[in-house]
């Protein structure tokens, strides 16, 4: 199984910044509810570097005050306990919307770099973005809503509907354990990601 990590974030349609009345975060916990904001709101907003390459910078709220990711807990990265980053990781983004009622896969980064410590970038307009994940835009997919709500993108929560794996209280799930049902589920999700050839909402120009 290739390295993979699962992240639970607030639900949005585009993740290209908050657009009042069009794309506002929901089900993102206390911070999102009180501040009407979410740092993950830019997780699928393309950033272009000085060489002209397009990247995505991904944020997830961790249990650590410093935004740490235990990269040695990622499948296939157990030997990286002393390293500051891991390459070649699939990051699967999941969220819960009012429409679906449950948690769904909303998109992914393939071939991502995962940083142990949260990184920070400051844009020209002064906005500061924290992130633990970076991937080339061409390796990423944001599922359209019509696709997200198909049953095959359902994502389990531990202790619900008979599942003993999946997201618990933490927003990061490392998929640890030897449960055969869990392994089968992860293999299926990774296969669906690898075989997906449908629409990518990242390319939508008209945000409505």
Note down pLDDT in tens along the chain; length 208 residues: 789 999 999 999 999 988 888 888 987 666 666 556 688 999 999 999 889 999 999 999 987 667 899 999 999 899 999 999 999 999 999 999 877 778 999 999 999 999 999 999 887 777 788 999 999 999 999 999 999 999 999 998 887 777 788 898 899 999 877 788 899 999 999 999 999 999 999 987 777 7
Nearest-CA neighbor of 106 among 158, 78, 142, 156?
142
Ordered DSSP codes for 104-135 = EEEEEEEEEEEEEEEEEEE-TTS-EEEEEEEE
């Amino acid at each position: 199984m290739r390295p993979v990590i699962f992240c639970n974030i607030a639900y949005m349609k585009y993740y290209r910044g908050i657009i009042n009345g069009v794309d506002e975060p929901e089900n993102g916990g206390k911070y999102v509810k009180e501040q009407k904001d979410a740092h993950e709101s830019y997780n699928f907003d393309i950033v272009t570097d000085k060489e002209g390459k397009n990247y995505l910078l991904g944020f997830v709220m961790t249990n650590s005050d410093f935004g740490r990711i235990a990269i040695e807990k990622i499948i296939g990265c157990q030997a990286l306990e002393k390293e500051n980053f891991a390459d070649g990781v699939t990051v699967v983004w999941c969220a819960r919307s009012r429409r679906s009622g449950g948690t769904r896969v909303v998109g992914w980064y393939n071939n991502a770099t995962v940083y142990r410590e949260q990184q920070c970038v400051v844009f020209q307009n002064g906005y500061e973005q924290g992130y633990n994940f970076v991937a080339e835009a061409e390796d990423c997919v944001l599922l359209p809503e019509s696709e997200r709500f198909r049953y095959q993108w359902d994502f389990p929560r531990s202790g619900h509907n008979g599942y003993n794996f999946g997201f618990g209280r933490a927003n990061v799930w490392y998929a640890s354990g030897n449960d055969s049902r869990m392994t089968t589920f992860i293999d299926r999700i990774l296969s669906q990601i690898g075989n997906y050839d449908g629409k990518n909402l990242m390319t939508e120009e008209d945000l409505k």
